[in-house]
């Protein structure tokens, strides 16, 4: 009952938020869950973000590309293997504590990548010609790392 009430509240709350839904594609429930939790904490967090793409490769934890600077790419496999390492190979997705460790890492990657999206949109706003490549991300890794530090402190 409590759970139901709580989830009702969250639903109503989200309906009053004037920001678009963030599409996670392909649909990945764990990442969608993290997205909704971030939105409850900060309604405007995803302003300027178009969508979240799940990348199943094994490259970086996440990325924002200059060709589509409003999209956040998340590499779930890479994040999972990092968390499995962190837990010394002893990872069980049905264990709530393990799930939370995984969700925290996903949240960290989203916060990091979202700062790159913001960097690109601010840089583009200030420029009268279309920016490409590194010019879109003048803040580099420093601003993204700083955003993660501020978010979790």
The smaller minimum CB distance to Zn ion, of residues 102 and 110, is found at 110
Q: H helices of the chain, where? A: 2-15, 29-41, 76-86, 96-126, 140-151
State the nearest-atom distance from the C-beta of 95 to Zn ion, in Å. 29
Q: Specify the residue for token string 């302003």.
A: 47
Residues contributing to the site for Zn ion (CB under 5 A) = 141, 144
State the nearest-atom distance from the C-beta of 39 to Zn ion, in Å. 22
State the nearest-atom distance from the C-beta of 60 to Zn ion, in Å. 8
CA angle at 79 for the pair 73 and 80, rounded to the nearest 5°: 130
The smaller minimum CB distance to Zn ion, of residues 136 and 144, is found at 144
| Torsion sign (Cα): 67, 121, 52, 75 | positive
The smaller minimum CB distance to Zn ion, of residues 141 and 149, is found at 141
The smaller minimum CB distance to Zn ion, of residues 83 and 120, is found at 120
DSSP 135: G
Residue nearest to Zn ion (CB): 144
């Amino acid at each position: 009952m409590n759970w139901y009430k709580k989830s009702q509240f969250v639903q109503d709350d989200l309906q009053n938020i004037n920001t678009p839904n963030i599409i996670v594609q392909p649909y990945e429930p764990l990442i969608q869950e993290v997205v909704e939790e971030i939105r409850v904490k900060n309604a405007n967090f995803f302003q300027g973000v178009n969508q979240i793409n799940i990348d199943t490769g094994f490259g970086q934890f996440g990325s924002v590309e200059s060709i589509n600077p409003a999209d956040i790419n998340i590499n779930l496999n890479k994040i999972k293997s990092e968390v499995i390492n962190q837990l010394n190979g002893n990872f069980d997705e049905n264990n709530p504590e393990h799930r939370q460790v995984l969700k925290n890492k996903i949240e960290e990657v989203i916060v990091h990548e979202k700062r790159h999206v913001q960097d690109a949109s601010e840089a583009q706003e200030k420029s009268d010609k279309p920016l490409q490549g590194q010019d879109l991300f003048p803040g580099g890794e420093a601003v993204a790392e700083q955003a993660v530090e501020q978010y979790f402190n």
